[in-house]
Amino acid sequence: MNETDTRMIKTEAAPTAPSDRIPSVDVLRGIAVLGILIMNIQSFSMIEAAYINPTSFGDLTGMNQWVWILSHILACEKFMTIFSILFGAGILLLSDRLESKGLGTAGIHYRRTFWLIIIALIHAYCFWYGDILFVYGLSALLVYLFRKASPRRLMVAGLIVIAVPSLLYLFFQSSIPYWPAEAIQSTTATWRPGSEAVAAEVSAYRGGWVRQMDARVGASIFHQTFLILIWYGWRVVGLMMAGMAFFKWGVLSAERTKRFYRLAALIGLGAGLPMVVWGVVRNFAESWRMEYSMFAGWQFNYWGSLFVAFGYIGLTMLLCRSTLWSGLKKLLSDVGRMAFSSYLLQTLICTTLFYGHGFGLFGRVERTTQILIVFAIWIALVIFARMWLHSFRFGPAEWLWRSLTYRKRQPFRLERGGA
């Protein structure tokens, strides 16, 4: 083998080796992928409207009410925010690693994104309409173009983009007096479906896989078109840009001082939690009216969740910088390394539990039981990740995605003594 061949091998594009990963990013990703199930369990087990309007389905008294309140305050949009931030950081991680080897980045990035979109479409239309990967893929196509911008510009631009849905919804609310009666009726039916619509959705998901398509395809199209245009797309793009800024500032790699992370936790939670709590109080005071709660009432958590997520990042980085809790950090890191697989596995477990091709529990499980199921799935995912990574380099979904991205079958099993 000559010297030219050796250089070519050394600069061949390949996935990040386990030993080169950033531990704090994996820990944070593990927390995010576990945390999103707290809210997603509602979409798996209840009608679609219940996610945005808790009064539209199921009991909302006693412990069920408290489970919803705590889930909303602590989880709703918070972990999705972290996940989106990490996805933006991941774009930089990939491009920086390739560029440091003198390799081009565009081809690999767009191929990687293309396959993510394909997997997302399969996930959404064949399994669960609540898929978030599709909007991540579309957003990554755009956000990649801004990877060279300064962190300050990325953060400012990200916040401006994030503000767009907030302004749109306030505009929608102010225009309600001018809506035709049909539009008000249609929006109200989305916010609080009638008994026939509820019965049809419950029947669809309690049916077999083909029967479920009646509800799943329509919901997936709605999420991947209208909701992306007025909400998801803007927020995810903005958060990915913020994630790039955080990564460039060293926030996500635990490089900042402990004082910085303490302030992040204090400011984030101190500002965000009261904002979200006040939103809960106001929405209940307004009896969850569509004209208020869908628009102005939604704003408190929309903005408060950004602060809370930042507070969670600060706490997680303090955990990563600490010499304590090494066992917990290892478990969370394992889940983070397998975040893609863990996310898809949540869908397989929950659709089997709640949909008609499995146990058919859709619409039959109250919120108090839902949260117990979340805890059980967390335990299962942590154990699965620990056992899997004992023998394999990547999670199964990660391995497939990397093999498709690099157009080469990636090593799967760990060699004896491997990392």
pLDDT per residue of the chain (419 residues) written in tens, 0 to 9 = 444 444 433 456 666 666 668 999 999 999 999 999 999 999 999 999 999 999 999 999 999 999 999 999 999 999 999 999 999 999 999 998 899 888 889 999 999 999 999 999 999 999 999 999 999 999 999 999 999 999 999 999 999 999 999 999 999 999 999 999 999 999 999 999 999 999 999 999 999 999 999 899 999 999 999 999 999 999 999 999 999 999 999 999 999 999 999 999 999 999 999 999 999 999 999 999 999 999 999 999 999 999 999 999 999 999 999 999 999 999 999 999 999 999 999 999 999 999 999 999 999 999 999 999 999 999 999 999 999 999 999 999 999 999 999 999 998 888 754 44
Token readout for 291 is 């004209």
**Residue showing tokens 């931030």:** 85
Q: Do residues 60 and 54 make contact, with C-beta atoms less than 8 angstroms apart?
A: yes
What pairs with residue 392 in β-bridges? Answer: 413
Of 222, 235, 258, nearest to 305 (Cα)? 235
Q: Are 110 and 141 in contact (CB under 8 A)?
A: yes
Q: What is the C-alpha end-to-end distance of the chain, expressed in Å?
A: 28
**Cβ-based neighbours of 293, under 8 Å, separated by 6 or more:** 53, 191, 283, 286
**What is the rounded CA–CA span in Å between residue 321 and residue 324?**
9
Residue type at position 259: R
Amino acid at 163: A
Indicate the residue type of 333.
S
**Angle CA(189)–CA(192)–CA(198) in degrees, nearest 5?**
85
- Bridge partners (DSSP) listed for residue 413: 392
SS3 content of the chain, % helix, strand, coil (to 5): 75, 0, 25
Question: pTM, whole model, 2 decimals?
Answer: 0.93
- Give the type of residue at 95: S
CA distances to 53, 126, 200, 215, 404 from 197, rounded to whole Å, are 15, 22, 5, 11, 41
Cβ-contact 357, 213 below 8 angstroms: no
Q: Are 34 and 111 in contact (CB under 8 A)?
A: no
Please give the Cα distance from 419 to 414 (Å, whole number).
7
- Which of these, 228, 240, 33, lies nearest to 141 by C-alpha position? 240
**373 - beta bridge partners?**
none
